[in-house]
């Protein structure tokens, strides 16, 4: 089978923000970075109202635990910024927003180490060197690490013998105290900034060719666990969002009906409802093992100008037939999932290429499949 030749997708090298949104096929994409991975109930309701007023009525969860409004008209961007500022969901200084790429465990309690470190790092953002737009930090200091598989370049995390600072891609890190942690993090960021190149703009890539000094190594990280399933935990009710998409009306209703105190965001296409009473979870995934949570699919065509095929309808149709991880990508960039999946479909010229046990940019085993071809193949294999 064959499909028409198409231009490769354009890699933009930066992520949208609130002040610097990205134009997509359905309007502007405006990213909101929740502080401490949390929104109060009032902030959640304000954001839902903004998504309905200025966007297309949906809120997206990103793999860095940020939130995105889609479909924002350029003429409404200024008013949206004013609304976010009133809700205390916007940094007052645009330059600091781009530096506040902080991913943290969503399961911390008030005044715990994770919260204290996040506050200290936020206060020191101006001391960081100039870093690539996608460069980020993780704070993963619970009893067990939960962010080991998530994107970050410098990690403050639980070690075998206390707190450690670890460069992403390094097997070990440096033992630090709480008081030393942020100074050490800034020092490691400066080490990176002095050596980064046009082809090595992430920590793990850089240390492949520029080994870390021994002073940054030697302390073993602590145990890790996989992402949680939907259900109750000590922080609240964990709920999944199919394809990382939240309906703003349904989310607002959930917060109001449950009397929740707040909302925690995660990098796993899940939210955590703080406190509150049990309610009908409706459009949210509340059942452990739901196959929808094993499927990654980007927004696809026509909403993304890079996408070369529609993605989410075929992803939903495939769910009953796929007993493994599935990634449906509108193009070879693979924005929805950077790690390998058992089955990956890549949009190309209105059709799909099939990659087995790989990523969207890997060599396909079949090319030019129509949607009907894909469904028949899935049913045959199922």
Strands 270-274 vs 236-240: parallel, antiparallel or unpaired: antiparallel
Beta strand 102-104 pairing with 137-140: parallel
Is the pLDDT score of 87 beyond 50?
yes
> 338 pLDDT band (50/70/90 cuts)?
confident
More confident residue, 276 or 297: 297
d(CA 281, CA 250): 9
235-248 core/surface letters (b: 16 or more CB in 10 A; e: else):
bbbbbbbbbbbbbb
Read off the pLDDT of residues 267-295 as tens digits, 9 standing for 90 and up: 999 999 998 788 888 889 999 988 888 88
* 36 pLDDT above the threshold of 50: yes
Helix/strand/coil (H/E/C) assignment for every residue in the chain? CCCCCCCCCCCCCCCCCCCCCEEECCEEEEEECCHHHEEEHHHHHHHHHHHHHHCCCEEEECCCCCEEEEEECHHHHHHHHHHHHHCCCCCCCHHHHHHCCEEECCCCCCCCHHHHHHHHHHHCHHHCCCCCCCCCEEEECCCCECCCCCCCCEEEEEECCEEEEEECCCCCEEECCHHHHHHHHHHHHHHHHHHCECCECCHHHHHHHCCCCHHHCCECECCECCCCCCEECCCEEEEECHHHEEEHHHHHHHHHHHCCCEEEECCCCEEEEECCCCCCCCCCECCCCCHHHHEEECCCCCCCCCCCCCCHHHHHHHHHHCCCCEEEECCCCCCCCCCCEEEEEEEECCEEEEEEEECCCCCCCEEEECHHHHHHHHHHHC
Sheet of 326-329, strands arranged across: 295-297, 326-329, 341-348, 351-358, 366-369
**Residue range 126-140, pLDDT digits in tens:** 999 999 999 999 999
Distance CA 238, CA 126 (A): 34
Confidence bin at 381 (pLDDT 50/70/90)? low
Per the prediction, the chain carries an average pLDDT of: 92
Is 310:327 a contact under the CB 8 Å cutoff?
no
**Domains, the chain, with CATH or none:** 22-91+241-274 (3.90.480.10), 108-216 (no CATH), 291-381 (3.30.413.10)
Contact of 69 with 30, CB cutoff 8 Å: yes
- Six-digit token string for 9: 């997708």
Name the percent of the chain lying above pLDDT 70: 96
Single pTM value for the model: 0.88
Q: What is the pLDDT of residues 22-34, one digit of tens each?
A: 998 889 999 999 9
């Amino acid at each position: 089978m064959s499909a028409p030749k198409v231009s490769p997708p354009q890699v933009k090298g930066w992520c949208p923000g609130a002040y610097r949104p990205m134009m997509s096929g359905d309007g502007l994409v405006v990213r909101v970075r929740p502080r401490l991975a949390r929104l109060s109930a009032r902030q959640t309701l304000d954001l839902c109202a903004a998504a309905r007023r200025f966007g297309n009525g949906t809120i997206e969860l990103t793999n860095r635990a940020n939130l995105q409004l889609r479909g924002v008209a350029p003429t409404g961007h200024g008013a949206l910024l004013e609304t976010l500022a009133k809700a205390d969901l916007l940094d007052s200084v645009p330059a600091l927003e781009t530096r506040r790429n902080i991913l943290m465990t969503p399961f911390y309690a008030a005044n715990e180490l994770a919260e204290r470190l996040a506050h200290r790092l936020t206060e020191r953002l101006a001391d960081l060197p100039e870093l690539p737009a996608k460069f980020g930090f993780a704070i993963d200091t619970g009893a067990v690490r939960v962010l080991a598989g998530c994107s970050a370049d410098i990690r403050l995390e639980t070690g075998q013998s206390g707190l450690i600072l670890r460069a992403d891609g390094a097997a070990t890190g440096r033992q630090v105290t709480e008081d030393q942690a942020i100074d050490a993090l800034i020092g490691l960021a400066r080490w990176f900034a002095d050596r980064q190149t046009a082809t090595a703009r992430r920590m793990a890539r850089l240390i492949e060719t520029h080994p870390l000094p021994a002073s940054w190594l030697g302390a073993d990280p602590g145990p890790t666990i996989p992402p949680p399933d939907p259900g109750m935990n000590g922080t609240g009710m964990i709920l999944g969002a199919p394809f990382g998409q939240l309906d703003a009306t349904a989310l607002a209703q959930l917060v109001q009906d449950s009397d929740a105190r707040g909302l925690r965001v995660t990098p796993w296409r899940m939210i955590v409802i703080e406190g509150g009473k049990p309610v009908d979870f409706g459009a949210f995934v509340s059942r452990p093992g739901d196959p929808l949570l094993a499927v990654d699919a980007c927004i696809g065509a026509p909403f993304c100008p890079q996408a070369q095929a529609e993605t989410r309808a075929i992803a939903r149709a495939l769910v009953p037939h796929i007993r493994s991880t599935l990634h449906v990508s509108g193009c070879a960039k693979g924005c929805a999932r950077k790690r390998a999946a058992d089955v990956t479909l890549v949009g190309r010229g209105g059709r799909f290429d099939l990659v087995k046990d790989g990523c969207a940019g890997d060599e396909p085993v079949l090319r030019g499949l129509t949607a009907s071809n894909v469904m028949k193949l899935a049913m045959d294999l199922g």
